Chains A and B, each alone.
Chain A
Amino acid sequence: MSGRRGAAARGAHPGVPGGAGNRGVGEPEGVAARATDVPLGATPVLELRDVVTEIRGVRGLVRPVDGVSLTVRAGQVVGLVGESGSGKSMTAFSVMRLFPTKAARVTGGEILLRGGDGRVRDLRTLGPDALRAVRGREIGMIFQDPASYLNPVLTVGRQLEQQLQAHGLGQGADARIAELLTDVGLSPEVARRYAHELSGGQCQRVGIASALACRPALVVADEPTTALDVTIQAQVLRLLARLQRDQGVALLLITHDLGVVAEVCDHVYVMYAGRIVEEGPVEDLFARPRHPYTQGLLAGVLDLLEPKPIRVSIEGSVPDLVRPPSGCRFHPRCPHAMPICEREAPPLLPRDEGAALGHSACWLHDPGVVGAGVTVEPGREDGP
């Protein structure tokens, strides 16, 4: 409750379209213009607590998500970034406990979702029917490759209609579908089309319409622009950001594109080898990255004039998750690795005085570990 009052007091405008212009005066000067001004105290819509997801594979048990905790608050856009293979997409799939493979399962932690009725439920303990009722209604999902996520032999309209019917919203479905398609910038006539008759960008607009169809509290978008042409990427991203703002829906955005994060996210989580290594408000985290991995990522981006996969900018590659490195999983690639990094996994420590500016999991920032001998202060090194 205090969160809600706090939101009102700090002048958030839920549901009111806000551009970069109405940014709060007191906000820190960031790298990119923030579109929304959601205070940290807003009610959490989704809270993952120590979520563990396992895949039973031929080579053994893999944990692509190994104790991930993250919070998405009402009306907030939260980015989850990492290299391919870091477990960010599996984290996205874990939210609805719906995976592309039957071998994957959430085996630990809590997935707390605040539903439309204000009740908080742990999706991890929900039965199949209750979980089905959440999918597509309380949580909308947007996928990476838009065309392959539409059934080629059913019309777009039929697929949206099925979703509305599945949640008891079949009454007036045609009007709602027309409204949804208009909202995402498509002609209502698209309802009669098939996926192969649409471009990639149009298909992704349909994907966005489907995610928003039942007015969910949360949308999970897994690399929503990656498979699109560069020119279309910006359009779709802008559309997504605008609809997010207009409808006040919370968005968990999975991406490997730091530019996307800078453009639309309020808060960002950086994931490496199945774990969160750093999190914080986007402006602050981009301005002063504390974790060596984040620093590497950002340095790579700043240097990058031609598009190049992120992993090239950091020595080595993502570790094999069947046999993850001991201690801090980044230590084999870390320029600042110390003996303790090999032995023990670092806890998430506040990035700064107080927790308001996020956390970072690096022994460099533990005053008990870093004594007089270590002089590296990576946070200041690459400051703007």
Chain B
Amino acid sequence: MSGARGSKALGAYALERLLNAVPLVLGVIVVNFLLVSLAPGDPVTALIGEYPAPPDYVERVRAQYGLDAALPERLLRYLGSVVRGDLGFSFANRQPVATLVIERLGRTLLLMLTTVVFATAVGIVLGVWAARRPHSAVDRGATGFALAGYSIPEFWLGQILILVFAVGLGWLPAGGFRSIRADYAGWAAVVDQVRHMVLPMLALSFRYMAITTRLTRASLLEVMNADYILASRARGLSERRVLWEHGLRAAALPIITVIGYNFGFIVAGSALVETVFGWPGVGRLMYDSIFTRDYPVLLGILLLVSVSVILVNLLTDVAYALFDPRVRY
């Protein structure tokens, strides 16, 4: 086995993993499609409303949206259009699904990525703090915080944050993406945007912060007992370098894994948080599409989520290989 591994091998590995994901994505589409069509309710009634409509009108609407065909035929038709890059047409919004989703995707990604970065950074710092002095007051505080963060649901936390910081203290806006009436430009617009983002991001971060804190603490405590930590101290390295260069470097692997694993949950959490905070993102769109039985939109979002989870997992594996020279691929 050769010692030096080129980036070419890693690139080939990533490509192989990407190709393997194609049948997975197709399978996900089929399952999503079947699940959605099993759900109770009819998009046509949602569209027309409860008001009794003439049966021939109902049939016309049904035919217009291609809902009159048999399930297998509809599935094949849907698969065919997805392969061509067409995600369908929204019943409720009367817009192509792709346009609708992409418009909101940027806002959701903004929220999710800041959440991942913030939660991971704070979680690691808290975890390192706790692990440095096990069973100290700091450790107890961090562990208690982690337990609380793990058990509090996002939507409830979001409402409490709104009550305290928006309604009670009036420090931050209660919801929305930006101030609609104000005409901010340049720096002021950025500040306004950030002010709107703080509360939803906190609500979404709490849980992942807690998970990362616990995990960092646990894996660091284990790693710091390793023989090579003793050896690096015997070489005269300072405690700081032992901790950050040896300890955390080795403890990073489970943390990376969990970032990838959490990503799927952050997507789900963002639907709740976006709804609570009126954040016009994909999560909010998904919530609305469920209530309006807007199946093409729902399917499109589910597809997007599946693909992004698969991609993030792939990125995790690549990061794993970069971080740990022992990983074979």
Contact = CB atoms under 8 A, between A and B. Distances in A.
Interface residues of A, number: 36
Contacts of B250: 151-153
A153 B323 CA distance: 7
A155 B159 CA distance: 49
Contacts of B234: 96, 98, 135-136, 141, 143
Interface in B286-329: 323-326
A377 B15 CA distance: 80
B188 interface: no
B324 to A, nearest CB: 6
A121 interface: no
A98 B230 contact: yes
B130 to A, nearest CB: 16
Nearest to A96: B234
A151 B249 contact: yes
Given A148-B228, A153-B249, A98 B326 contact: no
Given A153-B324, A196-B326, A143 B238 contact: no
Contacts of A233: none
A152 B236 contact: no
A145 interface: yes
Interface in A142-166: 143, 145, 148-155, 159, 162-163, 166
Contacts of B233: 98, 135
B235 A145 contact: no
Nearest to A152: B326
A197 B328 CA distance: 12
A210 interface: yes
A65 to B, nearest CB: 17
A151 B228 CA distance: 5
B3 interface: yes
B139 to A, nearest CB: 14
B4 interface: yes
Contacts of B239: 128
A134 interface: yes
A56 interface: no
Interface string B227-258: 11011111111110100011001100000000
A150 B249 CA distance: 13
A148 B226 CA distance: 8
B314 to A, nearest CB: 21
Given A152-B250, A154-B249, A163 B227 contact: no
B1 interface: yes
Interface residues of B, number: 25
B228 A210 contact: no
A343 interface: no
A192 interface: yes
A162 B227 contact: no
A162 B237 contact: yes
A150 B73 CA distance: 61
A136 B236 contact: yes
B325 A152 contact: yes
Nearest to A195: B228
A203 B178 CA distance: 59
A313 to B, nearest CB: 30
Contacts of A96: 234
B58 to A, nearest CB: 64
B310 to A, nearest CB: 26
A210 B232 CA distance: 10
Given A134-B236, A162-B245, A149 B325 contact: no
A286 B65 CA distance: 98
A166 B249 CA distance: 18
Nearest to B1: A197
Contact of A151 (B1, B3, B232): B232
A251 to B, nearest CB: 15
Contacts of B228: 148-152
Contacts of B227: 100, 143, 145, 148-149
B249 A210 contact: no
Contact of B3 (A133, A135, A148, A192): A192
A167 B324 CA distance: 27
Contacts of A162: 232, 235, 237, 241, 245
Given A136-B237, A141-B234, 20 more contacts: A100-B227, A100-B230, A134-B236, A135-B234, A135-B235, A136-B236, A143-B230, A149-B230, A150-B228, A150-B231, A152-B324, A153-B323, A153-B325, A162-B235, A163-B235, A163-B237, A167-B236, A192-B4, A194-B325, A197-B325
25 contacts: A96-B234, A98-B233, A98-B234, A128-B239, A135-B233, A135-B235, A136-B237, A141-B231, A143-B230, A148-B227, A149-B230, A151-B232, A152-B228, A153-B249, A153-B323, A159-B235, A162-B241, A163-B235, A166-B235, A166-B236, A192-B3, A192-B4, A197-B325, A210-B235, A213-B235
Interface of B: 1, 3-4, 226-228, 230-239, 241, 245-246, 249-250, 323-326
Interface of A: 96, 98, 100, 128, 132-137, 141, 143, 145, 148-155, 159, 162-163, 166-167, 189, 192-194, 196-197, 207, 210, 213-214
The 3 tightest CB contacts between A and B, nearest first, are A136-B236, A136-B235, A163-B235
